[in-house]
Amino acid sequence: MKTYRIAVIPGDGIGPEVIAEGIKVLNRAAELDASFRFEFVTFPWGCEYYAKHGKMMDDDGMEKLRSFDAIYLGAVGYPGVPDHISLWGLLLRIRKEFDQYVNIRPIQLLDGAPCPLKDASKADIDMLVIRENSEGEYAGAGDWLFKGKPEEVVLQTGVFSRKGTERIIRYAYETARRLNKSLTSISKGNALNYSMVFWDQVFEEVGRDYPDVQTYSYLVDAAAMFMIKQPQRFEVVVTSNLFGDILTDLGAAIAGGLGLAAGANVNPDRTYPSMFEPIHGSAPDIAGRGIANPLAAVWSASQLLDFLGQERWGKAVLQAVEQVMVERVALTPDMGGTASTSEVGDRVVTALAASSVAAK
């Protein structure tokens, strides 16, 4: 029997609450299949760990993670530890050091998901956002000069390397070709007269190798507007790190809410493990009450199954999520229900047996 070794970092706030449900679902998939199993190893890293040890992870933390088939993460960041310390000490560090340069975020309206847009149908909201995940505005480069003085100047440098820009854009073209979908680049060349002019140029250059892929290019401000007004314009989308961050919270909102939106941080050449996590954060406003929606974490688990080559189970888990939303027996308050986090997880587990037959 095949064993997949998964490093689990539940993290902060609602992270541990939702990850527990994802693990339930993964274990159930393995049980139903019977040809593979999971070995989960949990790492207690996060803001509480920081309070005790003065660091976000063990000194040899990256080494510890390296041998796993994948990482499953809840959320990082909690009041008490400055966000830039906690995030750069754990989440962003892993993305960067494991060269997880592709962030795949499906913005897809499932049946039963609450959509705030009037008249939008399932066919209208079905996009795959491919966010650059290793550099750009998140390069961590900058300077803070003349601190506290009247001439104080702060620089935050966006870094767009030839290698980094080409590889994400090529990945997006390949994805669009494989799915037979259009590809939209979202940038801002009118104002960002170095980085985004370069981005647009690379988008065009790489596109010459993909004459079969229909392309569009939007400025990010207009793209934000079109995501609300005409989301059907977008199929596969490629964009920079910061724009992708913002647009996928917007995307989450139109596709049912942050409690439902999933993401995969992928190192495509598989030199390092990839990491699966909901788009949302630690939600301190609802943490500890057992009411967080676990469906985003469960959808991330579905992405994890796809990544491991268990696509049938990836599909079955997503269908189970959809069924749970359609039947409306157990949903958390953000979706208008009264169920607890674990009741929703249990419901997905129940739905999975039926959906796995359908997904066969």
102 binds ligand IPM (CB under 6 A): no
Q: What burial letters (b/e) apply to 249-268, b meaning 16+ CB within 10 Å?
A: eebbbbbbbbbbbbbbbbbe
**Candidate list 334, 344, 348, 351; residue touching ligand NAD; CB under 6 A:** 334
Q: What burial letters (b/e) apply to 211-228, b meaning 16+ CB within 10 Å?
A: eebebebbebeebbebbe
Strand partners, 155: 143
Binders of ligand NAD among 61-100, rule CB under 6 A?
Answer: 75-78, 83, 87, 91
77 or 164: CB nearest ligand IPM: 77
Rounded CA Rg of the chain? 20
Strand partners, 71: 7, 275
**Candidate list 10, 281, 314, 337; residue touching ligand NAD; CB under 6 A:** 281
- What single-letter amino acid sits at 220? V
Sheet-wide strand order for 2-11: 36-42, 2-11, 70-75, 274-278, 262-266, 102-108, 126-132, 236-239, 183-187, 215-219
**Candidate list 286, 298, 316, 324; residue touching ligand NAD; CB under 6 A:** 286
Report the C-alpha gap between 212 and 181 in whole angstroms.
10
Q: Which of 69, 245, 306, 346 is catalytic?
A: 245
Q: Is 83 a catalytic residue?
A: no
336 binds ligand NAD (CB under 6 A): no
247 or 316: CB nearest ligand IPM: 247
110 within 8 A of 348, measured Cβ to Cβ: no
In degrees, rounded to 5, the angle at the alpha carbon of residue 231 between the alpha carbons of residues 344 and 217 is: 130
| Total chain residues near ligand IPM (CB under 6 A) | 6
355 binds ligand NAD (CB under 6 A): no
**Candidate list 195, 282, 300, 303; residue touching ligand NAD; CB under 6 A:** 282
Q: Which of 24, 78, 181, 188 is catalytic?
A: 188
32 or 92: CB nearest ligand IPM: 92
Report the C-alpha gap between 145 and 35 in whole angstroms.
58
- Which partner from the list ligand IPM, ligand NAD, Mn ion, none does 293 bind, CB cut-off 5 to 8 Å by kind? ligand NAD
Minimum separation from the CB atom of position 329 to ligand IPM (A): 30
Binders of ligand NAD among 208-267, rule CB under 6 A?
Answer: 258-259
Both tokens of residue 126?
A: 């079905």
Provide the binding-site residues for ligand NAD, judged by CB under 6 A: 14, 18, 75-78, 83, 87, 91, 258-259, 277, 280-286, 292-293, 296, 334
The residues annotated as belonging to the active site are 138, 188, 221, 245, 249
Chain residues that interact with ligand IPM, rule: CB under 6 A? 77, 87, 92, 245, 279, 281
